[in-house]
Amino acid sequence: MRFNQKYDSIGDLKAETWMNTYLPDNVPVRVSSKGIFYSNYCEDLLEVDTSAKEVNVSLSRDGLFHLLPEALFVDENYLRDPKRKHKPFTPEKERILNFFTPFDSEYFQVTLGLDRVVQNFESDLVDVLLKSLYDIDAQAIQNPEVKKALPLLLQASEIRGDYVLIGRLMTAITGFHAQIQRVFRTFPDNAGNEYETVVARIVFYIPSLTNTEYSSLYDELGGFVQFIAEWFFPVEQAFEYAIKEEGRPFVLDGTLTLDYNTYL
């Protein structure tokens, strides 16, 4: 999807869900339905332009025009003219689509409102379940990453111990590439003997952080990592976590932050 001319991959996310998540409520919307088999072959939401007073939205789904027999509006043989077959929309068809735009826009506003109601209902239901099952007050959680991860608790039994899936979920929630690796670490016991154990090592790869940004982000992500380890790692699984810079060559006179872009 293009959002103000910048491509943003949104996968299978429904257009109404994206709009309700990232744009203000009750924003005026002008919809253009392209009719290109959105449910099976491409993203539902193709493009969003917020530069005008109303938000211009391009959808791959069928509009009202595509649900009606095409022969009602244009001669079928005319559209099959070999000179036009490589053009996705003839000027005549564009005018017809523009005619139906107000109807498609009005219908989309209705579905947008319904999706908002469903989202609010689901959010309230999750809060109730978290309180009754885990005694967690979702409204009291301040950490933004933890708040996003709270609904996953309802699927904790299926997620626990799947480090590949947990790493992907952490990447999706934080927006930073995260990896979880199993490494061996040596620890002393009370008697002075050393023993080796498996540790889950969580690493976030984030480029170009200043010392201040690194310190602040380390504390914020640390609370999120603690939450993930408590609820989604196997019982008594030892873990450690780090933020590392990746993809930038070492520069001798460059800014160095211990354990971020330096290695002991």
Average pLDDT over residues 123-131: 85
Q: What gap in Å lies between CA 51 and CA 156, rounded to an integer? A: 41
Residue 74 in this model has a pLDDT that exceeds 90: no
Q: What is the pLDDT of residue 106?
A: 92
Query: Over the stretch 220-231, which tens digit does the pLDDT of each residue have?
Result: 899 999 999 999
> Taking CA 250 as the corner, what is the angle to CA 247 and CA 254, rounded to the nearest 5 degrees?
115
Evaluate if residue 257 carries a pLDDT over 70: no
Between the ranges 4-18, 58-72, 78-92, 135-149, where is the mean pLDDT highest? 135-149
Please check the confidence at residue 251 and state whether its pLDDT lies above 70: no
The whole-number pLDDT of residue 21 equals: 81
Q: What is the pLDDT of residue 27?
A: 84
| pLDDT band per the 50, 70, 90 thresholds, residue 256 | low
pLDDT at residue 120, rounded to an integer: 76
Which residues, other chains included, contact 261 with Cβ-Cβ below 8 Å and sequence gap of 6+? 244, 245, 248, 250, 254
Mean of the per-residue pLDDT values of the chain: 82
> What is the CATH class of 145-244?
alpha beta
Residue 122 confidence class, pLDDT cut points 50, 70, 90: confident
Model confidence at 89, pLDDT cuts 50, 70, 90, reads low
- The ranges assigned to domains in the chain are 2-120, 145-244
Give dist(CA 135, CA 144) in Å, integer: 19
State the average pLDDT over residues 203-222. 87
Give the lowest-confidence range in 22-26, 31-35, 91-95, 102-106: 91-95
Over residues 87-91, the mean pLDDT reads 63
* Contact partners, residue 145, CB within 8 Å, separation at least 6: 173, 174, 220, 221, 223, 224
Q: What percent of the chain has pLDDT over 90?
A: 23
77: pLDDT strictly greater than 70: no
pLDDT recorded at residue 201: 92
Whether 54 and 77 have beta carbons less than 8 Å apart is answered as no
CA angle 209/210/214 to nearest 5° reads 65
Reply yes or no on whether the pLDDT at 247 is more than 60. Answer: no
CA distances from 25 to 13, 16, 235 (A): 18, 11, 42
Residue 166 — pLDDT band, cuts 50, 70, 90?
Answer: very high
Q: In which order are the strands placed within the sheet that holds 177-188?
A: 177-188, 194-205, 239-244
Q: What is the pLDDT of residue 115?
A: 86
- Residue 134 is encoded by which pair of tokens? 């885990």
- Residues 246, 247, 250, 253: is their CA dihedral positive or negative? negative
Q: pLDDT (tens digit, 9 = 90+) per residue, 28-71?
A: 899 988 877 555 567 888 889 998 888 999 998 888 888 888 67
- Indicate if the pLDDT at residue 80 is higher than 70: no
pLDDT of 258 reads 64
